[in-house]
Amino acid sequence: MSNVRIAIVTGAARGIGAAVAKRLAADGFAVAVLDLDEPAAKLVAEAIETSGGHALAVGVDISDESGVKAAVQRIGEELGEPTVLVNNAGIIRDNLLFKMSVDDWDAVMNVHLRGSFLMSREVQAYMTKSGWGRIVNLSSTSALGNKGQANYASAKAGLQGFTKTLALELGKFGVTVNAIAPGFIETEMTAATAQRMGVPFEEFKNARAAQIPVARTGVPNDIAHAVSFFVSEDAGFVSGQVLYVAGGPRA
Ligand code: NAI
């Protein structure tokens, strides 16, 4: 196992995170499948093992400082020292500003910003020690502004500043830090949005696809492919970037 790199993917029990975990396993990484939902994370880890990969499911709330510490230590001991981190876990608590509660604001900040901060701070120790590392943060096109998402848009814009700052701080240790900003991707998150708006998911997707230059909505593998590039060996000169994966130009 000594030449195998260890990757951690947060929020990997479903959606984009699960696709990223499976793709990185297929790329040859041993993958820690982290999620609040441990039973679902176990299913993803089992699927990876069944396809010949190596994975460990870890149940943790990434906004909990001691939980993150314990989880990363466990990964170091049971899977190996992690040098790839994909900060993907996320939640939405959409509402117009005048209806947004402090709890909705804090919950979103805690998962996206505090969670990515805690995970990155914990894992960078292994990366700087080994003189090599890759961090990929999941931003969103919502970072450019999106009605009903003051909390989420702020967190996703914040992650872009976080990405650029870590790229500056960690570059000299052989660590690259990049962000991916997806457009509309078909997952339980977007299905829940359709449901909240009372629109069947198919109809919701078709309406969105009509606005997208490549004339379709995204799927988790569209994002997994971009992550695979950023964490690859040969991408070492690409750092501090935000890649919009949205079926058309953004930013
Ligand atoms: P999803 O809702 O399908 O999956 C998110 C996963 O994160 C879930 O398994 C959930 O249990 C986990 N999670 C939530 N809070 C957690 C916590 N505190 N600790 C550990 N795990 C936690 O979401 P989806 O759609 O796969 O999104 C993944 C990422 O991509 C998120 O950061 C999201 O904001 C971002 N994104 C998604 C887009 C989309 O269209 N689906 C568009 C742009 C960005």
Residue 246 CA to ligand 1 center (angstroms) comes to 17
Residue 190 CA to ligand 1 center (angstroms) comes to 10
pLDDT above 60: residue 2: no
Residue 54 CA to ligand 1 center (angstroms) comes to 22
Residue 10, SS3 per DSSP:
strand
Domain boundaries defined on the chain: 6-183+219-245
Per-residue model confidence as pLDDT tens digits over 50-103: 999 999 999 999 999 999 999 999 999 999 999 999 999 999 999 999 999 999
Q: What is the rounded distance in angstroms from the CA atom of residue 144 to the CA atom of residue 227?
A: 21
Ligand 1 atom at shortest distance from the alpha carbon of 13: 9
The answer to whether 211 and 247 are in contact (CB under 8 A) is no
- Residue nearest atom 29 in ligand 1 by C-alpha distance: 88
Ligand 1 atom at shortest distance from the alpha carbon of 218: 40
Residue 87 CA to ligand 1 center (angstroms) comes to 10
Mean pLDDT throughout 215-232?
98
Token pair, residue 191, equals: 């299905």
Which of 187, 217, 245 for a ligand 1 pocket mutation test, highest count of atoms within 8 Å of Cβ?
A: 187
Q: What is the rounded distance in angstroms from the CA atom of residue 76 to the CA atom of residue 60?
A: 15
Measured between alpha carbons, how far apart are the two ends of the chain, in Å? 41
Query: Hey, what CATH topology would domain 6-183+219-245 get?
Result: Rossmann fold (3.40.50)
Token pair, residue 139, equals: 């931003």
pLDDT for the residue numbered 3:
83
The reply to whether the predicted model has a pTM over 0.85 is: yes
How far lies 66's CA from each of 38, 42, 236, in Å? Answer: 17, 22, 31
- Residues, the chain, total? 251
How far lies 123's CA from each of 7, 68, 218, in Å? Answer: 10, 10, 30
Token pair, residue 246, equals: 């949205």
Catalytic residue among 117, 152, 162, 244: 152
Query: Which candidate, 24, 88, 17, 82, places its Cα nearest to that of 51?
Result: 24
Q: CB within 8 A of 74, min separation 6: which ones?
A: 58
Residue ranges in the chain assigned as alpha helix (H)? 15-26, 38-50, 65-78, 102-109, 115-130, 150-170, 188-196, 201-209, 220-230
Confidence band, pLDDT 50/70/90 cuts, at residue 251: confident
6, amino acid identity: I
Residue 150 CA to ligand 1 center (angstroms) comes to 17
pLDDT above 50: residue 1: no
Ligand 1 atom at shortest distance from the alpha carbon of 64: 18
Ligand 1 binding residues, C-beta < 6 A? 10-11, 13-17, 35-37, 61-63, 88-91, 111, 115, 138, 140, 182, 184-185, 187-190
Which of 88, 109, 142, 195 for a ligand 1 pocket mutation test, highest count of atoms within 8 Å of Cβ?
A: 88
Q: Is 152 an annotated catalytic residue?
A: yes
